Amino acid sequence: MSYGRSMTMVDEAPQHLAQVAALIRGARQNKGLTQAQLAERLGTSQSAIHRIEQGSQNVSLDMLARISAALDSEIITFGAPKHSHLRVSGGHELSGRIEVNSSKNGAVALLCASLLNRGRTTLRRVARIVEVDRIVDVLRSIGVQATWSTDGRDLEIVVPEQLDLASIDVDAARRTRSIIMFLGPLLGLEREFALPYAGGCDLGTRTVEPHMIALRPFGLSVTAASGNYEALVTPGGSEDLSVVLTERGDTVTENAIMAAASRDGVTTIRNASPNYMVQDLCFYLELVGVRIEGIGTTTLRIHGRTDIDADVEYAVSEDPVEAMSLLTAGIVTGSEITVARVPIEFMEIELATLSEMGLRYSLTPEYLALNGRTRLVDVTVHPSELHAPIDKIHPMPFPGLNIDNLPFFAVIAACASGHTLIHDWVYEGRAIHLTDLTRLGADVRLLDSHRLDITGPTHWSGAEVSCPPALRPAVVILLGMLAAKGTSVLRNVDIISRGYEQLQERLIELGARIETFRD
């Protein structure tokens, strides 16, 4: 968080106090200090620290600076923002137990879907990541009340009678590809509107045409003009509607679901994605009164309604991609760790593939997530001798191997004996970012823009690497550094905060030796 020198007091809106409170609380906990111990270092009372961490007390810049020094954590910076880097001392085993956080992609879909509800939506356990903050900024800019709880974990959303789309935060909108998911809910609310072009990771060309194909049956036509999507909606009738998606994409499916939810009639969506974030969206819409048949399958029948107005609470489900990230940390360091609250339905192919590669792991009996629907297990990975799989590793739409989990198999394959072919057929150009593992000693050959040949096992060694401009490959390089003996430096790591909440601090909880520094 950055403040100009002219400010003497942090007395912003409550949501900013909550953000500062969350930063202080997280830094204290990562240092293993109690509130009383921090209070003693600062020469103040435990009750004062409690109020600060609850976001109920204004904090001077002087106090923030003192807290930063006491926790050896740069909570605030002055002047121009500094770039963040990580220094990693690798080659050490990890240990312990860690819980999976809630889903980034699930949270983003639910934030977009909240536009459909005229009642109060309360989302529990929302991931505090940059991508979520950007969507929240966009919602607030168009008149939505979005209020974080005092502990910074829950978000209450109230949508106004009329959205102020003319005041949309263009900068925040253009910095996230998720803005494309406003099309589905908005076409049920507006006859004409404009959205800034979508942004996001540098993953090559990703057309928005599948979204247009999915939404045209609902009366949406879109033209590109002056950096915006200019949308025009032709209202349809209440007759039954059938939509066939040409791409079984997650966000495409979500857009079609949100469009169907607000129309008066039954919509059948075929070739739908049944992935985790889609199921989260469906569970939420059921709470606000939209009946949906076929959740978890590729054919959905949605009984829409034009008058969605309900006060609901929904707990976002756990993130299978974060689960894969944490499991990979244990695998590549040859460690025994337990990753708790893993959404097993969305990890079964990954675990089966790892088993074929020789990974030894154990599972607890299943239990339900806080949403009452998602099945969870705790997974313990054990040190294992890995070997390359017989077949290539490639993603498929759910229930296949998750496209976002594919990059982690690159660093795992580098630890396995033999040749592994990884085929990333979805994204043009993402595979090239994974060749940065060669800087750490891995034998990774780029066959073309979609395929990698990886030979292991790797004799890892420390190196300095600039963070790839894509989220998952960036985390893969960080995990490779955990395996590499010696000291490594990962530069410009801000992109990791797009999809992970305090990832390096969570890895430190498992025994990783990671230091954040800025210049």
Per-residue pLDDT of the chain (519 residues; tens, 9 = 90+): 443 333 333 333 455 666 677 778 777 776 667 787 787 777 777 777 877 887 767 777 767 777 887 776 766 655 555 688 999 999 999 999 999 999 999 999 999 999 999 999 999 999 888 889 889 999 999 999 999 988 888 999 999 999 999 899 988 888 887 888 999 999 988 888 888 876 544 434 455 788 888 999 998 988 877 778 888 998 877 789 999 998 888 999 999 999 999 998 999 999 999 999 999 999 999 999 999 999 999 999 999 999 999 999 999 999 999 999 999 999 999 999 999 999 999 999 999 999 999 999 999 999 999 999 999 999 999 999 999 999 999 999 899 999 999 999 999 999 999 999 999 998 877 899 999 999 999 999 999 999 999 999 999 999 999 998 888 999 999 999 999 999 999 999 988 887 888 899 999 999 999 999 887
> Residue 80: its pLDDT value, please?
52
* Residue 182 structure tokens: 């406003």
For residues 271 and 250, the answer to whether their CB atoms sit within 8 Å is no
Q: Tokens 């032709």 belong to which residue?
A: 234
For residues 131 and 499, the answer to whether their CB atoms sit within 8 Å is yes
* Residue 170 structure tokens: 């263009």
In whole angstroms, give the CA distance from residue 422 to residue 290: 40
CA 44 to chain centre: 37
Element (H, E) at 148: strand 145-148
> Residue 11: its pLDDT value, please?
37
From the number of C-beta atoms within 10 Å of its C-beta (0-12, 13-18, 19+), residue 209 rates as exposed
Element (H, E) at 74: none
User: Half-sphere exposure of residue 2, counting CA atoms within 13 Å on the CB side?
Assistant: 7
Closest of 311, 227, 299, 286 to residue 256, by C-alpha: 299
* Residue 108 structure tokens: 């983003």
In what side-by-side order are the strands of the sheet with 312-315?
A: 145-148, 155-158, 120-124, 312-315
Q: Return the ∠ at Cα 205 (arms to 203 and 206), rounded to 5°.
A: 90
> Residue 198: its pLDDT value, please?
67
> Residue 199: its pLDDT value, please?
54
What is the DSSP track for 268-316?
A: EEES----HHHHHHHHHHHHTT-EEE-TTSSEEEEE--S-----EEEEP
* Residue 181 structure tokens: 């998911």
Q: How many CB atoms lie within 10 A of CB 81?
A: 10
Instruction: Tell me the C-alpha to C-alpha distance, in Å, between residue 267 and each of 86, 238, 261, 308.
Output: 49, 10, 8, 16
